[in-house]
């Protein structure tokens, strides 16, 4: 009862942000957010510590027929924890990020921004707590609307507004699929809720309904080919928002898929393979497209698709494990996927925040104009580096642990499965290792071109480190990244627990015990690695002190007078890769050849651009087709009132005739 009242009070207080003076709006928002986070953390703690299995909170709202119940089980609690961390760090970071906008934006737009931020948070935690179909759709919609308002913060720019509307439309397409799925369940069982899914699945075909849910939730999560909103919306949004959207909001799609999977009983193998194939495609294509991007935030957005792919691989393997009664595979697959949800929310938000800091400092997102920023912005650079290492899944950071869980699940089940599964699993191993290699390629490029070398433009030369307000909050995220990497047991064990309870797996103590010893060994080896590095560096320090150290220009093969324009660029870094990835990326070069009769060539420009073929195929083409059709129909729009009356008359006549002949 107490919980419900507190929750409702916070919900109402959010609207008061409009009446708070502009200078204090941020503090007010922070206070409310901290209240909400504290409240939800207490709930999570109760559930995760095992003091109660499921926490029910009845919000006695007459408008919902007193049926609005928040139900927190372990899965919900896990997602709430993930949301809490990133949303909190995001708001702390926003303080510094929004400072320049204090002059240009009026009080109202700040109010709307903060209100949307709070509601994005509240709707996200409600999404994972609500089981009733209709209420779920309402909060799902609230989540889409509030994030839409956040994306269009800089709506003076028409392209941003356009992107925002594109995002809003795609979210509604997704919602439409979920709605149909819920209606199907409602029609068959008389109840529209996640709890009724079990009943539905027990006497209907599972695959069709699952696919409907998968498309609906997959658009949110950004599985290829449902991803096209992602690379558009993330760059358009302010960085703290893109951090939260990419870090946690897209994970709501993963939550939805997991929630549906709990109830699925038949067709498990088919569903598992479907998820696995789509995820592998998302993972590989996502990172492949990321490599050729010039826009730093767009690059990161494509990486979100890749990481959703990795999460999906874990989930797909988990489902295959369920189908074949391979408890180890399902435990490791699901746990790897779920832990990657947490991991990705940490390092991806970190990377987006730092991309925001870079944007803040040099006012461009174009990688080709950056370079040498590590000297101007050392803190940002180191934070970005740690994020890059973690996202590539390299030990001793957190990304490795979740990828390791997935890998080991696959390797373990290879020897026990039959022919077809072996082939599928081998395919996923190859896919995952390829994703790892591509990610390293991508992030050496991103980090190297942005932060290292010589500055490639005037803007980059004059960059200054961002204020401390923007850097210090990120240490929270860094702390989690390092702790999960070095003391993985602390996190993997609870995740095992969540998975085994959620999917009611049989006894897992043996697997857990065996696994804990593995993780301890990994921590040990990671520790040794860190110590070796430190020891070598300390030795090097003293070694160099006693030797002559001098400085000079970089080796230029006899020609050192070049400008920074001759440096390796992001495009040249990806050149040979582009060569073999051409069929997928369709990179176009826009340039004019020098003609033979052109003795003194005039100024030339070179531009390369790669299209997202899925966007072309699934969005642009159908939209073009429909708008062509609509243009043809527009002939009827004559602007003369007689014609319109005629249309009405024809329509009435048609209805009358059709009724008369018993057709409708």
Partner 1 sequence: MTGFILILISAFFFPGVILRAKSIASGRKGPGIFQPVKEIGVLLRKGSVFSNATGVIFQIAPAISLASVICAMAVIPFANQNALISFEGDFVFFSYLLAFGKFFAIIAALDTGSSFEGMGANREAFFSMLVEPAFFILLATFAMFTGCTSFSDIFSHFFVTGNHYVLIYSIIGFYLFIQIAMIENSRLPVDDPKTHLELTMIHEVMILDNSGFDKALIHMGSYLKFSIYGALMYNVIVPAGWNVFLQVSLFMAVQIIFAMIIGLIESFRARNKMNLNPKFILTLSSIGLIAFLIILILTDKLI
**What residues numbered 403-462 form the site for partner 1, per CB under 8 A?**
403-404, 407-408, 410-412, 414-416, 418-419, 422, 425-426, 429-430, 432-434, 436-438, 440-441, 443-445, 447-449, 452-454
Q: What is the DSSP string of 105-123?
A: S-HHHHHHHHHHHHHHHHH
The nearest distance, CB 300 to partner 1, in angstroms, is 17
Residue numbers 350-409 binding partner 1 by CB under 8 A = 371-372, 374-375, 378, 385, 389, 392-395, 400, 403-404, 407-408
363 or 543: CB nearest partner 1 = 543
148 or 441: CB nearest partner 1 = 441
The nearest distance, CB 610 to partner 1, in angstroms, is 17
Residue 114 CB neighbours (<10 A): 25
Residue numbers 92-151 binding partner 1 by CB under 8 A = none
13 or 434: CB nearest partner 1 = 434
Q: What is the largest CA-CA distance in the chain?
A: 104
The reply on whether position 627 binds partner 1 by CB under 8 A is no
35 or 448: CB nearest partner 1 = 448
Query: Among 270, 460, 326, 324, which Cα is nearest to 381's?
Result: 460
253 or 453: CB nearest partner 1 = 453
What is the rounded distance in angstroms from the CA atom of residue 4 to the CA atom of residue 565? Answer: 61
429 or 613: CB nearest partner 1 = 429
Q: How far is CA 325 from the centre of its chain?
A: 31
The nearest distance, CB 381 to partner 1, in angstroms, is 9
The nearest distance, CB 447 to partner 1, in angstroms, is 6
Token pair recorded at residue 545: 């002190």
Pick from 62, 190, 506, 553 the residue near partner 1 by CB under 8 A: 553
164 or 455: CB nearest partner 1 = 455
What is the rounded distance in angstroms from the CA atom of residue 54 to the CA atom of residue 77? Answer: 10
Q: What does each C-alpha distance from 339 to 306, 562, 619 come to in angstroms?
A: 15, 48, 32
The dihedrals phi and psi of 232, each to the nearest 5 degrees, come to -90, -45
Residue numbers 532-551 binding partner 1 by CB under 8 A = 532-533, 536-537, 540, 543-544, 547-551
506 or 553: CB nearest partner 1 = 553
| Binding segment (CB under 8 A) for partner 1, from list 76-84, 89-97, 206-214, 556-564 | 556-564
Pick from 554, 637, 640, 662 the residue near partner 1 by CB under 8 A: 554
606-615: b or e for each residue (b if 16 or more CB lie within 10 Å)? eeeebebebb
- Specify whether the backbone of 393 is left (phi greater than 0), alpha (psi in -120 to 50) or beta: left
Q: What does each C-alpha distance from 545 to 317, 534, 536 come to in angstroms?
A: 53, 17, 14
The nearest distance, CB 233 to partner 1, in angstroms, is 29
266 or 457: CB nearest partner 1 = 457
Q: Which residue has the tokens 């040099």?
A: 362
Half-sphere exposure of 600 (CA within 13 A, CB side): 0
The nearest distance, CB 373 to partner 1, in angstroms, is 10
Residue numbers 492-521 binding partner 1 by CB under 8 A = 514-515, 517-518, 521
Q: What is the DSSP string of 202-226?
A: HHS-HHHHHHHHHHHHHHHHT-TTS
What is the rounded distance in angstroms from the CA atom of residue 233 to the CA atom of residue 235? Answer: 6
Q: Which residue has the tokens 């995820």?
A: 279
Residue numbers 560-589 binding partner 1 by CB under 8 A = 564, 566-568, 572-577, 579-580
């Amino acid at each position: 009862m107490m919980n419900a009242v507190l929750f409702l009070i916070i919900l109402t207080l959010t609207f008061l942000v409009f009446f708070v003076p502009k200078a204090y709006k941020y503090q007010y928002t922070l206070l409310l957010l901290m209240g909400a986070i504290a409240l939800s953390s207490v709930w999570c703690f109760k559930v995760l510590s095992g003091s109660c299995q499921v926490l029910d909170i009845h919000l006695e709202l007459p408008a919902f027929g007193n049926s609005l119940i928040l139900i927190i089980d372990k899965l919900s609690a896990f997602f709430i924890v993930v949301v809490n961390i990133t949303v909190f760090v995001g708001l702390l970071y926003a303080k510094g990020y929004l400072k320049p906008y204090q002059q240009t934006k009026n009080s109202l737009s700040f109010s709307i921004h903060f209100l949307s931020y709070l509601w994005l948070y509240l709707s996200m935690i409600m999404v994972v707590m609500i089981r009733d179909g209709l209420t779920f759709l309402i909060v799902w919609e609230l989540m889409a609307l509030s994030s839409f308002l956040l994306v269009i913060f800089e709506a003076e720019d028409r392209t941003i507004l356009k992107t925002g509307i594109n995002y809003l439309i795609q979210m509604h397409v997704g919602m439409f699929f979920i709605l149909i799925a819920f209606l199907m369940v409602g029609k068959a069982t008389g109840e529209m809720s996640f709890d009724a899914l079990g009943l539905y699945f027990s006497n209907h075909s599972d695959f069709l309904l699952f696919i409907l849910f998968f498309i609906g939730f997959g658009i949110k999560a950004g599985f290829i080919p449902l991803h096209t909103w992602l690379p558009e919306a993330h760059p358009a949004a302010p960085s703290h928002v893109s951090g939260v959207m990419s870090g946690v909001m897209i994970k709501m799609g993963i939550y939805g898929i997991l929630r549906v999977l709990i109830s699925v009983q038949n067709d498990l193998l088919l569903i598992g393979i479907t998820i696995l194939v789509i995820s592998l495609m998302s993972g590989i294509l996502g990172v492949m497209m990321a490599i050729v991007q010039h826009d730093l935030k767009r690059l990161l957005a494509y990486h979100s698709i890749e990481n959703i792919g990795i999460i999906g691989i874990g989930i797909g393997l988990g489902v295959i494990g369920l189908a074949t009664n391979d408890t180890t595979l399902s435990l490791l697959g699901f746990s790897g996927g779920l832990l990657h949800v947490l991991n990705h929310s940490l390092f991806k938000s970190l990377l987006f925040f730092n991309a925001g800091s870079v944007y803040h400092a040099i006012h461009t997102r174009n990688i080709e104009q950056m370079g040498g920023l590590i000297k101007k912005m050392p803190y940002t650079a180191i934070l970005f580096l740690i994020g890059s290492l973690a996202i590539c899944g390299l030990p001793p950071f957190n990304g490795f642990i979740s990828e390791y869980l997935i890998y080991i699940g696959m390797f373990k089940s290879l020897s026990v499965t039959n022919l077809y599964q072996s082939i599928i699993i081998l395919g996923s191993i190859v896919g995952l290792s390829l994703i790892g290699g591509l990610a390293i390629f991508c992030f050496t490029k991103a980090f190297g071109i942005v932060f290292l070398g010589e500055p490639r433009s005037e803007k980059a030369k004059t960059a200054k480190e961002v204020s401390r307000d923007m850097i210090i909050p990120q240490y929270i995220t860094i702390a989690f990244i390092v702790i999960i990497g070095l003391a993985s047991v602390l996190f993997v064990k609870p995740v095992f627990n969540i998975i085994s309870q959620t999917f009611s797996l049989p006894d897992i103590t043996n697997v857990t015990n065996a696994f804990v010893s593995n993780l301890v060994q990994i921590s040990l080896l990671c520790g040794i690695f860190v110590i070796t590095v430190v020891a070598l560096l300390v030795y090097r320090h003293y070694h160099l002190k006693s030797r002559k150290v001098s400085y000079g220009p970089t080796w230029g093969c006899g020609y050192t007078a070049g400008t920074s324009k001759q440096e390796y660029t992001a495009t040249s870094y990806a050149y040979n890769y582009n060569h073999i990835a051409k069929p997928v990326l369709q990179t176009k070069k826009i340039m004019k050849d020098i003609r033979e009769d052109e003795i003194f060539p005039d100024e030339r420009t070179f531009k390369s651009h790669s299209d997202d073929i899925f966007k072309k195929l699934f969005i642009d083409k159908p939209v073009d087709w429909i708008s062509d059709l609509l243009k043809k129909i527009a002939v009827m729009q004559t602007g003369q009132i007689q014609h319109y009356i005629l249309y009405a008359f024809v329509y009435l006549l048609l209805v009358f005739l059709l009724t008369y002949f018993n057709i409708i």
